[in-house]
Amino acid sequence: MANSRFEYVRTFERENILLPQTHIIIRIDGRGFHKFSSAYEFQKPNDPNALKVMNLSAQALMKSIPDVMMAYGDSDEYSFLLRKNCDLFERREFKLITAFSSGFSAYYQYYWNIVFPNKPLSVERLPTFDARAVVYPSDSIVKDYFRWRQVDCHINNLYNTSFWNLVIKGHLSPQEAENKLMGTVSSDKNELLFKEFGINYNDEPEMYKKGTVFIRDVRDTLDLVPNSDVNLSKRQVERLRGKLRKVTINELHCDIIKEEFWNKRAWLLK
């Protein structure tokens, strides 16, 4: 190409290839969603329609990228688990994370327009998401990763449920509510909800307490996921991805901390 004189600038490009044979998890996270949720007047503590947009987006992304075996999310974040041997974008980090950040943003805007026909998005405040990829060398750490996110969901939801009840029903100012909750532990908040507002936290919707799990259910087609992609031809990988694309994706709102969840779905970490 006639380009050669300037093409040397490519030598400055750097590439990070994520370590092979490790689990890749990509987590997307809403950018500035505190302000976003205020500007579009999300219902508090949880807006079922806004969560619906999140979940539809996560599911659509998972459908479009067959290497995603599982997704877990709550609030304005979602974590996607790629199958261990996946060679998507040759495991190039920048390709992976920008595919997830831009893909999720695109789905979110698309579904927002459907779910909220009466809340048009302003060009000054469009929904966007950042994304990071982390590799984990063993199954047990992957499980602990998802446990970490679910514990976080629980802690945040209990706090937010308490906080917003104090503000909305208890007529406290945000600052007063914050002060009241400072230093409290879980049992304190459970008691407060029950005594002051007659709310039994255990009866709150599972989706709020546990978040949302999507599972690619290859149970009946376990041979789909090979032990290694190393010996697969490009054609075989494409065929595999085609099959994975057709597998049912199940939505759950269950405990993923106990071993039981993982034991029942051993294929997730295969």
Alpha-carbon distances, residue 252 vs 123, 130, 140, 174, 230 (angstroms): 34, 25, 21, 33, 32
CB of 169 vs its own copies, minimal distance in Å:
26
3-state SS, residue 29: strand
Burial (Cβ within 10 Å: 0-12, 13-18, ≥19) of residue 226:
middle
> Is the Cβ of residue 95 or residue 169 nearer to its own copies in the bound state?
95
CB-based contacts of 196, cutoff 8 Å, min separation 6: 165, 166, 170
Which residue, 130 or 255, is less far from its own copies as judged by CB? 130
Residue 218 tokens, joined:
């290859």
Shortest Cβ distance from residue 168 to its own copies (Å)?
25
State the nearest-atom distance from the C-beta of 137 to its own copies, in Å: 4
Closest contact distance (angstroms) between CB of 51 and its own copies is: 19
CB of 239 to its own copies, least distance (A): 20
Q: Which two tokens stand for residue 191?
A: 């008691």
Question: Considering only CA atoms, which of 28, 20, 31 is closest in space to residue 97?
Answer: 28
103 appears as a binding residue in the annotation: no
Q: In the 3-class helix/strand/coil scheme, how is 159-197 assigned residue by residue? A: HHHHHHHHHHCCCCCHHHHHHHHCCCCHHHHHHHHHHHH
Name the region of 162 (left: φ>0; alpha: ψ -120 to 50; beta: rest).
Answer: alpha
Task: Confirm or deny that 217 is annotated as ligand binding.
Answer: no
By DSSP bridging, strand 23-30 and strand 129-136 are antiparallel
Nearer of residues 172 and 237 to its own copies, judged by Cβ? 237
Nearer to its own copies, 145 or 197 (CB): 145
Q: How far is the CB of 130 from its own copies (least distance, A)?
A: 4
Residue placing its CB nearer to its own copies in the complex, 87 or 219: 87
The answer to whether 31 and 129 are in contact (CB under 8 A) is yes
Binding residue per annotation — 76?
yes
What residue has token string 């449920």? Answer: 161
The answer to whether 32 is annotated as binding is: yes
Q: Which is nearer to its own copies, 152 or 178 (CB)?
A: 152
Q: Does the annotation place 31 within a ligand binding site?
A: yes
The answer to whether the annotation marks 30 as part of a ligand binding site is yes
Q: Is 29 annotated as a binding residue?
A: yes
Contacts with its own copies by CB under 8 A lie at 1-3, 6-9, 11-14, 16-17, 19-22, 31, 60, 93-95, 97-99, 101-107, 109-110, 113, 121, 123, 126-138, 141, 144-145, 147-148, 151-152, 155, 186, 230
253 assigned binding-site residue: no
Q: Mark the binding-site residues for GTP, compressed into ranges.
A: 29-34, 75-76
Q: Mark the binding-site residues for Mg(2+), compressed into ranges.
A: 29-30, 76
Q: Mark the binding-site residues, compressed into ranges.
A: 29-34, 75-76
